[in-house]
Amino acid sequence: MKKRFIAALIIVGFSGIVAQVLLLRELLIKFYGNELSIGIILANWLILEAAGAFFVGKRIEHIKRKIETFIILQLIFCLSLPLVVYLTRVLNIIFGLTPGEGLGIVPIFCSSFILLLPISIPHGALFTFGCRIYSSFQGSDVSVEGIKGKPSLGGGVIGKVYVYEAFGTLIGGIVFTYLLIRYFNSFQITFGISLLNILICLILLGASYKPDRLLLTKLLGYITCIFLFLNIFLILKADNIHRDSLKKQWPQHKVIYYRNSVYGNVAVTERGKQYTFFSNGIPMFSSPTPDIFFVEEFAHLPLLSHPSPKTILIISGGAGGLINEVLKHPVEEIDYCELDPLIIKAAKRFSAPITRKELSDPRVKIHYVDGRYFLKDTKNRYDVIMIGIPNPQDLQTNRLFTEEFFSMAKNRLNENGILAINLPGSLSYLSYELRKLNACIHDALKINFPYIRTIPGDTNILLSSASGNLSAINPALLTRRFKQRGFGASLITQNYIEYKLAPGRLKWYLESIKEAKRKANKDFSPIGVFYSLSFWNALFSPHTQGIFKLFEKISLKFFIIPVIIFVILYLIISFKNKGVGRYAVPYAIIATGFCGMLFDLILIFAFQILYGFVYYWMGLLITAFMVGLTLGGLAMTLSLEKIKDDLKSFIRLEIALIFFSFILLFTLLRLNVPFRQITFLALSFISGFLVGAEFPLGNKIYLKTSPNIGQAAGLLYAGDLLGGWIGGMLGGVALLPILGLFNSCMLMVVLKMSSFIILMFTRREGAIA
């Protein structure tokens, strides 16, 4: 029975990570692919798991038939998973959304919270139940009288369950990244996970058979068998369910292509004779009729601003008409970079004449590589570099809008060369968010380019150059070049050029952004992501604009001062009441959960900044963290009996976490020199090891003051997840974009220093033995 239950725990961890990543991808498509939604989804997952572990899990002490209850929770989890995926697909019907339309911060929070609830709560409760059930196989008495004097036994039980789940999570992360997501659709994956969990439930039922439980065991067995056969039937119908959900996901559109890659999701819809290509739910381009306003303005106005554009670099967004318009100029060579090969493959598969023409032209060279990496590696120089992405809406795109990237682009331009980017704009009124977004990118350009010319509109086109020729641009010059080159266009005419370059519009634009207090968008202070998210939120959830304005005021002292006040108050209270000392370890666990989440986010940010293909390496980074988490938890669990001074060892781990935060800060400072990718795996491993090692030891210490395994496991596991929830909610949305990566590392140092001081005081006062 013990070995079968261990297998069940591993499957719980395996299923949890697959469900988490799968739902993250599905919800990301519905939430317009923005980084804000990722933080909220992960945070909701963690807080619901914490609720399940603490509020539901602690009820196990009052339940007699624990194995059967564990099985029921596992069935609720696995059977809810396919249903939640389907509801996620049809979320647009509930909110009345059209394809490509996003949601505001409040709907994202509420909808993801409700959708994750039937999955995360039972999954969190399974950990607490698992600790209590596993303790019975170890011969542990979990009563107050039985566990006193033997906290290492309870801590060892919790630590082992933690390791088994983490091991399952490790395997699940690898299998999902390199097998499931490549070859199976979401419903095939979810029904497969359900089948795996149902089978282990049947195995547990058979092993737990007792004569006094015959009726309940039979009833639960019959129900599980029904679910088993139903699940097998649904697996056979998974493709039909998949296609039906896609019809509802894109109403009034025919989904003709839907694939997942290591970079994301690519979908192609057909309506009439028009194809629309989506990446992670975001419309990329249309064919055969492109967005005439965008492709003609963004192609012709920058190229007409150059006296003789011969060599062009287009980074993303070239297919679907932009390259076709660029080819109308006297260009000799176009390098086109697109990170996800699926986008180009889909464009070629469902190509219109315009797409076939532009992608097959001998002057066009397609590079399936990140544009920033290509620009850094290439020896070519260009007359015009064009960024086809409209704004820094996430980490991947922000790398193309920073001070450091603009410096790289400047070094790859020929004399009179022009860098062309585009940002959201308005013909009549620039909102607070638009002013901030445009201003922070404008300032980043200004640091590198002495000459900047903006062409305002619904899409602002920003032209930058080291040459003074850009300042001589006027309607007459562009009209003359337009006539000399003799190409046809639907939109670009002499009158239209005069309209776009009207001096009054430029003056109005510059005065608008001048009013905005801002700082330049940088690699390690990606404020552009924050302002892009703020602008996006203002469109879809305007009543929450105040939240972003509050976040904008955040500084390091905003967090340091409350932490200092908290430590002082804690020390004063604990000096008068030693009983408060029992909360020192839970506070340290919460702080470690917070730092663990920030470690992950910082490493992801840094990897993306340096290499640009973090979605490809995400599986390896998560795997390295989970290997560290597993080995750290296992190493500590095996050492619990040998450790004589528990609190001293725990304090040493706190010191190690503080030291690691400094190492991470030093590593970020060294990212400007050649840096091996293997270092990121090492850092992920170390962070996981330290976080994993602290949890079993923390349980052993806490069991001295609360000798109930279920309560201790639930409280500390919930505290760990609560810290991760806070880190997830604040990290990607506010801390890293506003404070920057360096100051975020310093915040972790301050936070862990606070728990270190509290633990040292607790040890000195003898509040915990």
As a whole number of angstroms, the distance between CA 18 and CA 77 comes to 12
Burial 684-715 (b: 16+ CB within 10 A, else e): bbbbbbbbbbbbbbbbbbbbbbbbbbbbbbbb
Confidence of residue 147 (pLDDT cuts 50, 70, 90): very low
Residues 531 and 685: their CA atoms lie apart, in Å, by 33
CA atoms of 763 and 14, how far apart (whole Å): 38
Question: What is the per-residue pLDDT across 671-696, written as a single tens digit (0 to 9) for each?
Answer: 554 456 788 888 999 999 999 899 88
Q: Tens digit of pLDDT for each residue in 439-491?
A: 999 999 999 999 999 999 999 999 999 988 888 889 999 999 999 998 888 88
What pLDDT score does 176 carry?
86
Q: Please determine, for residue 409, whether its predicted confidence score (pLDDT) is greater than 60.
A: yes
- Average pLDDT rounded to a whole number, residues 123-139: 82
Are 312 and 358 in contact by the 8 Å Cβ rule? The answer is: no
Nearest to 55 by CA among 121, 112, 134: 121
- Of the chain, the percentage scoring pLDDT greater than 70 comes to 89
C-alpha dist (Å) from residue 285 to 280, 288, 353, 389 = 13, 10, 15, 11
Per-residue pLDDT tens over the stretch 236-251 = 888 888 888 888 877 7
Identify the pLDDT of residue 142: 43
pLDDT tens, position by position, 5-40 = 999 999 999 999 899 888 988 887 777 666 567 777
User: Confidence class of residue 724 from pLDDT cuts 50, 70 and 90?
Assistant: confident
Show the tokens assigned to 203: 């195995």
pLDDT of residue 87: 92
Among the residue ranges 73-77, 215-219, 725-729, the one predicted with the least confidence is 215-219
- pLDDT tops 60 at residue 522: yes
> 4 with 134: CB under 8 angstroms?
no
- Whole-model pTM? 0.82
The pLDDT-based confidence of 711 (bands split at 50, 70, 90) is low
- 586-622 pLDDT, tens digit per residue, is 999 999 999 998 898 888 788 877 776 666 676 677 7
